[in-house]
């Protein structure tokens, strides 16, 4: 029996879905209410949808702040159309997580201190 037989696929993106860093384009940013599994309290999260993606990404607070920084706006209404790089990572508590980074384009070679 496979792990996926016991724990079926979900509609939400997980770190294990990212085999390598991936560049994505945000198509929608919405707020959705979830129930905290430990406290059973309602909590709101930002959920991102991406162009050509089959899963959505429910952001934690750290990922939401990183997304705002990466796209240059804290207003989620500004996020659709912007691009990010998502990659699998390990959080400080040892759990798998998704790292959110801005899309970076290389500058001129003479500006790179790592080239001779």
Q: Which two tokens stand for residue 53?
A: 């993606």
Give the pLDDT of residue 10. 82
Say yes or no to pLDDT of 48 above 80: yes
CA 56 – CA 98 distance, rounded (Å): 13
Question: Euclidean distance between the first and final Cα of the chain, in Å?
Answer: 53
pLDDT digits (tens, 9 = 90+) for 74-109: 999 999 999 999 999 999 999 999 999 999 876 555
Say if 81 falls within a structural domain: yes
CA 29 – CA 2 distance, rounded (Å): 34
Give the pLDDT of residue 109. 56
Domain that holds residue 77: 12-104
Say if 74 falls within a structural domain: yes
Instruction: Quote the pTM value.
Output: 0.82
Say if 116 falls within a structural domain: no
CA 95 – CA 15 distance, rounded (Å): 10
CA 96 – CA 88 distance, rounded (Å): 7
Say if 111 falls within a structural domain: no
Give the pLDDT of residue 113. 64
Say if 3 falls within a structural domain: no
Give the pLDDT of residue 78. 97
pLDDT digits (tens, 9 = 90+) for 19-41: 999 999 999 999 999 998 889 99
Q: How many domains does the chain have?
A: 1
- Average pLDDT of the residues in 4-27: 87
Among 93, 98, 92, 113, residue whose Cα is nearest residue 22: 98
CA 72 – CA 82 distance, rounded (Å): 9
CB count, 10 Å around CB of 66?
18
CATH number of the structural domain spanning residue 95: 2.40.50
Say if 65 falls within a structural domain: yes
């Amino acid at each position: 029996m496979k792990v996926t037989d016991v724990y079926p696929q979900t509609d939400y993106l997980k770190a294990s879905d990212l085999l390598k860093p991936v560049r994505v384009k945000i198509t929608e940013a919405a707020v959705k209410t979830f129930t905290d599994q430990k406290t059973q309290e309602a909590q709101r999260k930002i959920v991102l949808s991406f162009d050509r993606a089959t899963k959505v990404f429910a952001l934690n607070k750290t990922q939401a702040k990183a997304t705002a920084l990466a796209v240059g706006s804290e207003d989620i209404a500004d996020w659709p159309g912007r691009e990010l790089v998502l990659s699998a990572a390990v959080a400080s508590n040892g759990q798998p997580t998704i790292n959110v980074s801005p899309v970076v384009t290389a500058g001129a070679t003479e500006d790179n201190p790592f080239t001779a």
